[in-house]
Homo-oligomer: A and B are copies of this chain.
Amino acid sequence: MSDGAAPPVTPGRGRRPSRATGDDRELAILATAERLLEERSLSAISVDDLARGAGISRPTFYFYFPSKDAVLLTLLDRVVAEADATMGAVFDSPAAGPREAWQRALAAYYDTFRTHRALTVAWAEARSTSGAVRTLWAEVFERWVQRCATSIEAERARGAAPAGPAARDLAIALTSMNERVIYASLSGDGPAVADEDVVPVLLRVWLTAVYGSPPD
């Protein structure tokens, strides 16, 4: 249990592996971050808070992570991996019809982020301060957009959906809506759609946008 197996957590994101008791400390930092994020925003959490929460001093924190953002990034890697896995499973599994397919995809997307509420909110917040966080978000967004654009094009090709704006642009607009609506619902800031109405409303807009013809 000391070494041997490949590191199970956070494969990428360039950080030196640490062995022996170091792993415990690292996990303690991550757990502290996740716990503190439940009660306050990322900007209200200092490196000192994370260090003390993990039972170490501030300089020692820097032995494990290069910055506060890196901790968030490591935490986000897990969520992203989970989201990608869920997304892949949903898109690849057969569905009774397009309506059900989109419905399942939306519900899975929402569920993933809802089960990591604090992290999702912190993600959105850190996007404006950390380039790495912004990049990670852009990657995830791009993957989702491409999947959706492909699906839209497929529906158009088989004559199920009418022509319209470039599939990619449509996918970007609709994915942006998802993101913002979900964030508002999770963060509680400002007007938001009620929790149980999020998926139905998003679904309705997606379906009409993809399959409906505009009036006139």
Contact = CB atoms under 8 A, between A and B. Distances in A.
Interface string A178-216: 011100100001111110010011101101110111111
A204 B197 CA distance: 23
A71 to B, nearest CB: 18
A38 interface: no
The interface size bin for chain A is 35 or more
* Majority DSSP secondary structure for residues of A touching B: helix
Contact of A201 (B125, B129, B169): B169
A169 to B, nearest CB: 5
B173 A201 contact: yes
A137 interface: yes
Contacts of A200: 165
Given A173-B181, A181-B172, A204-B165, A99 B216 contact: yes
B173 A205 contact: yes
A78 to B, nearest CB: 21
A93 interface: no
State the copy count for this chain. 2
A214 B192 CA distance: 23
A200 B134 CA distance: 27
Nearest to A171: B191
Contacts of A172: 181, 184, 191-193, 201
Contact of A215 (B169, B170, B212): B212
Counting from the closest, the 4 A-B pairs by CB-CB distance are A212-B212, A177-B177, A138-B190, A176-B180
Interface of A: 41, 43, 97-99, 124-125, 127-129, 134, 137-138, 141-142, 145, 160, 164-166, 169-170, 172-174, 176-177, 179-181, 184, 189-194, 197, 200-202, 204-205, 207-209, 211-216
